[in-house]
C-alpha cells in the first residue's frame, strides 16, 4: 500500500489543457505493465539483485510453449549470455478487439495493437560503471480508435493513440550513495516516475490510471526529454522530482516521435513541466 503526494506546474498556466488535449493523443495513460520497463514501485538498482547468474534452460525445448517464461525462449542460450553480460532484452505484444454494442457515437468494432521492444544495459557489468544503466524502449501502434466510436473522454483502452512507431524512451540513470540517490536524464516516460497506480495494470481501460492532479504529465504516447532525481533513504519512503519538456502536453507537439529539440529550443514550445512526488509505502 502506498500514500502518494504529488504536484505539478507549467509555464503555461493560462492555457487551456482541454483544448490542446484534442490535438495531442493523451486520452490514455498507456499500458501499466510493459515487460522490461521499470516503474516507481518496481525499481532495482543495477547489480542489486541477489539472484545467481542466469543459466541456459536446457529443458526449455521440451516444455510446452505456453509454459515458457518468454514467448521466444532463450534463443539457443544467447539470451542468457546477453543477460550475464549486462544486456536484457524484453518485448511484449498487446492486441485488443472492442465493439460498441449500443449508444456511443458509432456502433462499430475496432482492433488495436501495440508492439513494445526494450533493452536495458547494466553499465556496471558492461564497463564497470557502478550504479549506471541505459534504457531504450521502442514501440509500434496501429489500429482503429475505440474512443472515437464510444465518444469517451478518458480513453477506453490503455493503448489508445494515433498510429505511430517511435523511440519512446532513451535515458541514462545513475545511482549514488549506496543506491539512496539517483539521477535520470533523457527521454523519459513520466507516468513511470509520477502518478503511477499499481492496481491500474489489472484493468484494460485507462480510467484507473488517471491522476486528478497531473493533467500535464508527459506520458504515453508522447514521453519527453527531462531530468528526474530521486532520494530513498529507506525502502518504505522516497522523494522524486522532475523537470520535463511540456511541448506535448501544453502545445500539442508530438514529442514521442521526436528527439530533444523542443527541450533545448523555444521555436515550437517554451513550456516545461515541474513535478514532485512523495511516497510512503507499507505492507498491508
Helix, strand or coil, per DSSP, at residue 188: strand
**List of long-range contacts for 64-73, beta carbons under 8 Å, 24+ apart:** none
**Do you know the residue count of the chain?**
284
Supply the range of the domain harboring residue 246: 2-60+72-281
Structural domain contains residue 65: no
pLDDT at position 164: 94
> Considering the domain boundaries, does residue 66 fall inside one?
no
pLDDT attached to residue 245: 92
In a domain, 131, yes or no: yes
- What's the pTM value of the predicted model, to 2 decimals? 0.80
Q: What's the domain count of the chain?
A: 1
**Who's near 66: CB < 8 A, 6+ residues apart?**
none
Residue 24 lies in a domain: yes
| 130 is a domain residue | yes
Is residue 135 a part of any domain in this protein?
yes
Q: Is residue 67 part of a domain?
A: no
- pLDDT per residue, tens digit, the chain (284 aa), is 333 343 433 333 323 333 333 344 444 467 766 777 777 656 666 666 555 565 655 555 578 888 888 888 999 999 999 999 999 999 999 998 988 888 888 888 889 999 999 999 999 999 999 999 999 999 999 998 888 888 877 777 888 888 999 999 999 999 999 999 999 999 999 989 998 887 777 777 777 777 766 778 898 999 999 999 999 999 999 999 999 998 888 888 888 888 888 888 877 888 899 999 999 988 86
Q: How far apart are the first and last CA of the chain?
A: 6
Asked whether residue 41 is domain-assigned, the answer is: yes
Amino acid at each position: 500500500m502506498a500514500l502518494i503526494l504529488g504536484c505539478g506546474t507549467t509555464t503555461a498556466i493560462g492555457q487551456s489543457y482541454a483544448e490542446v488535449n484534442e490535438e495531442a493523443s493523451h486520452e490514455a495513460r498507456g499500458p501499466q505493465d510493459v515487460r522490461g520497463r521499470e516503474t516507481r514501485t518496481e525499481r532495482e538498482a543495477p547489480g542489486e539483485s541477489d539472484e545467481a547468474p542466469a543459466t541456459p534452460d536446457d529443458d526449455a525445448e521440451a516444455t510446452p510453449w505456453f509454459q515458457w517464461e518468454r514467448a521466444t525462449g532463450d534463443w539457443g542460450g544467447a539470451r542468457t549470455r546477453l543477460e550475464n553480460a549486462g544486456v536484457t532484452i524484453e518485448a511484449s505484444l498487446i492486441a485488443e478487439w472492442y465493439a460498441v454494442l449500443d449508444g456511443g457515437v458509432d456502433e462499430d468494432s475496432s482492433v488495436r495493437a501495440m508492439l513494445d521492444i526494450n533493452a536495458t544495459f547494466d553499465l556496471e557489468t558492461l564497463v564497470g560503471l557502478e550504479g549506471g544503466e541505459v534504457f531504450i524502449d521502442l514501440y509500434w501502434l496501429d489500429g482503429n480508435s475505440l474512443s472515437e466510436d464510444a465518444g469517451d473522454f478518458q480513453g477506453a483502452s490503455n493503448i489508445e493513440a494515433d498510429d505511430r512507431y517511435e523511440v519512446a524512451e532513451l535515458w541514462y540513470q545513475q545511482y549514488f550513495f549506496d543506491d539512496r540517490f539517483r539521477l535520470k536524464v533523457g527521454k523519459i516516460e513520466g507516468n513511470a516516475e509520477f502518478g503511477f497506480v499499481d492496481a491500474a495494470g489489472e484493468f484494460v481501460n485507462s480510467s484507473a490510471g488517471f491522476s486528478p492532479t497531473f493533467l500535464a504529465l508527459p506520458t504515453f504516447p508522447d514521453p519527453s526529454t527531462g531530468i528526474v532525481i530521486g532520494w530513498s533513504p529507506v525502502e518504505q519512503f522516497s522523494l522524486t522530482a522532475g523537470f520535463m519538456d511540456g511541448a506535448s502536453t501544453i502545445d500539442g507537439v508530438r514529442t514521442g516521435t521526436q528527439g530533444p529539440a523542443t527541450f533545448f529550443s523555444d521555436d515550437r514550445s517554451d513550456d516545461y513541466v515541474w513535478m514532485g512526488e512523495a511516497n510512503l509505502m507499507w505492507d498491508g
